[in-house]
Chains A and B, each alone.
Chain A
């Protein structure tokens, strides 16, 4: 790895000077206040309707049970609601408010709901022109005629990308916490959050459930988000190597991510869909105990699927990048 550091410095500098990270920060600074305000309205309505949060949870449980009693609901949908009821009951029994309005909880919920769409979008802003940008700009001719092996160039690009992916996740968390804290207060780090729900058919196995402080939960959550973001980043690097135009590389990756989330919503009867990477990117669901989109998926399975996709993408990227003829 001799001489790698200056190369990484080059790539880091290029992404920075392209002002990609500013774009990400700007998007966050626009979107987060929007969601914070929406959350504020929700809490205000709840506070007006229920004097105690326990009444609100109880009401939610009753509502769900009523729909469950209805015959018009398909059995498949009932499964999700039954699990939801069990979880709410669990929180109620342990006297913990899962919707407590504070900055840490808001950040946790925002991050969790961003894994499937918002984070992939941010990552694509960084990664999609990593290689294709050099080709459209013609600078690849300068880059590859210097006395540096091609695999080192690609490695330095991937290392720089990893840095920015990590930074983007941190920045999202920080922006969320700082902005929502203005309205909700900066507390909530030590609030216990339950995790370890094991979904077994339509029932929840609560034997493994335990409370962890919110900060520890968020650490685990961020780790999982990082893994799914890195998978997207590596796949998008591969597309960027294969496709010459940056626009085509963004569209290809977005199509893959969106189709994954659509499939996750409808493919519970098509079991083989669970091997598609984008059906597996919602890793934080396992932490929350949301039932997986397709039976037979668990966290180990999803990590393995993502790992295999990423490894294959790396093999293709290195194989093509080091061998390919630069014809234009």
Chain B
């Protein structure tokens, strides 16, 4: 298991300045990070909001930024796109230093920070024209291209004030793609979308990623990150707790198994006797209430993966009618606990 702790990384592991210059001239070479964040800190009115944030996003990957609300996700994202100046630390985008060379660095990024807010009194097309004029080399054909990528062709000449949230979201993405960025930053992109919209967005993100674009997606939902991302940085209270592959990090937190039978008391006693099963009382587990909604009164356990079929067979042999056995993914809270435990060791 590899946990990449940026906090403890030694400076020698960074690429040299000369190597970075060469890479930026040749475009970002394979392996050279598209986004490199080092030792980011932010203090607002004498209070440290961001204590230590560092990670790298590599070309072509979908990078998740996971943390609960108020953990510093949005503040960090705002620092990545030059809306907030970091108190300490540095950000390199496509090899360009954001603080020293913001024009070059920002040309490599497209972003939507929080809600996709556009000028409501302009049409979708006029909005895109506004942003096209802010960068050289973006003509009408490019605008038409991004409009068709986000499939907004039919309504593009309507005023933005008449758009639905989903359409604004798509217009926002069109705006972000306009400058042919290497990196797309989306802050909680599924917020406020209905399930259909969320599904469409996920497909859309995979499609963009297939074109070689790197994506940086923040979310407070573990399941979102699991569904969309290759690697993830987990942030809490202004600190990055871990950076690594999603499957490896999520695997650290054990999943739960819920049992629903026709004789719950008997089943509970039987399960308690098994060494491979750990029972949880009502207040002991950190399960999402939503997960329990379909199985009221279910027995909450964690079971060793390989032992599960045997336990089921045992119940069946005792004549207990199994109505449901369900594996439930760990919550973000559970994951945090595991991560902080690992760090404390």
Contact = CB atoms under 8 A, between A and B. Distances in A.
Decide if A and B are genuine partners.
yes
Interface stretch (B33-41, B51-59, B76-84, B328-336): B76-84
B119 A139 contact: yes
B102 A6 contact: no
A79 interface: no
Contact of A7 (B114, B121, B133): B133
B115 A6 contact: no
Nearest to B104: A147
B1 interface: no
Contacts of B136: 3
Contacts of B299: none
B175 interface: yes
Interface stretch (A8-16, A180-188, A238-246): A8-16
Contacts of A6: 133-134
Interface SS of chain B: loop
Contacts of B78: 325-327
A14 B129 CA distance: 12
A144 B103 CA distance: 11
A3 B81 CA distance: 21
Interface stretch (B105-113, B217-225, B232-240): B105-113
A18 B122 CA distance: 9
Contacts of B126: 13, 17
Interface string A11-43: 001100111000000000000000000000000
A149 interface: yes
Interface string B85-121: 1000000000000000011111101010111011111
A145 interface: yes
A323 interface: yes
Contacts, number: 78
Contacts of B104: 147
Given A17-B121, A138-B114, A146 B102 contact: no
Given A17-B121, A139-B117, A142-B117, A327 B133 contact: no
A216 interface: no
Interface of B: 44, 78, 81-85, 102-107, 109, 111, 113-115, 117-122, 126, 130-131, 133-136, 175, 179
A3 B133 CA distance: 9
Given A10-B133, A137-B120, A149 B84 contact: no
Nearest to A9: B133
A218 to B, nearest CB: 35
A154 to B, nearest CB: 14
Contact of B103 (A139, A147, A323, A325): A147
A220 interface: no
A141 B113 contact: yes
A17 B83 contact: no
A19 to B, nearest CB: 8
B117 A148 contact: no
B130 A13 contact: yes
Contacts of B84: 325-327
Nearest to B111: A145
Contacts of B82: 144-145
A146 B135 CA distance: 8
A323 B85 CA distance: 8
Interface of A: 3, 6-7, 9-10, 13-14, 17-19, 137-139, 141-142, 144-149, 323, 325-327
A13 B130 CA distance: 9
Contact of A325 (B83, B111, B114, B135): B83
6 contacts: A139-B118, A142-B118, A146-B135, A147-B134, A148-B135, A325-B44
B313 to A, nearest CB: 57
Contacts of B115: 138
A145 B83 contact: yes
Contacts of A146: 106, 131, 134-135, 179
A14 B127 CA distance: 10
A60 B215 CA distance: 80
A139 B126 CA distance: 14
Given A137-B120, A147-B179, A142 B131 contact: yes
B134 A141 contact: no
Contact of B83 (A3, A139, A326): A326
A10 B83 contact: no
A321 to B, nearest CB: 13
Nearest to A146: B134
Report the 5 A-B pairs with minimum CB-CB distance, sorted nearest first.
A138-B117, A6-B133, A147-B106, A147-B107, A326-B83
A145 B81 contact: yes
Nearest to A328: B114
B13 to A, nearest CB: 30
B292 to A, nearest CB: 36
A7 B134 contact: yes
Contacts of B114: 138, 141
Q: Which of A7, A142, A144 has the most CB of B within 10 A?
A: A142
A18 B120 CA distance: 9
A9 B103 CA distance: 20
A44 to B, nearest CB: 45
Contacts of B107: 147
Contacts of A325: 44, 78, 83-85
Given A17-B121, A147-B104, A325-B78, 20 more contacts: A3-B136, A6-B134, A10-B130, A18-B121, A137-B119, A138-B115, A138-B117, A141-B81, A141-B83, A141-B114, A145-B81, A145-B82, A145-B83, A146-B134, A147-B179, A149-B102, A323-B85, A326-B83, A326-B84, A327-B78
Given A142-B131, A146-B134, A14 B119 contact: yes
Contacts of A14: 119, 122, 130
A271 B236 CA distance: 59
A3 B137 CA distance: 12
B337 to A, nearest CB: 30
A168 to B, nearest CB: 20
Given A14-B119, A17-B126, A149 B83 contact: no
B109 A145 contact: yes
Contacts of B85: 323, 325
Contacts of B175: 142
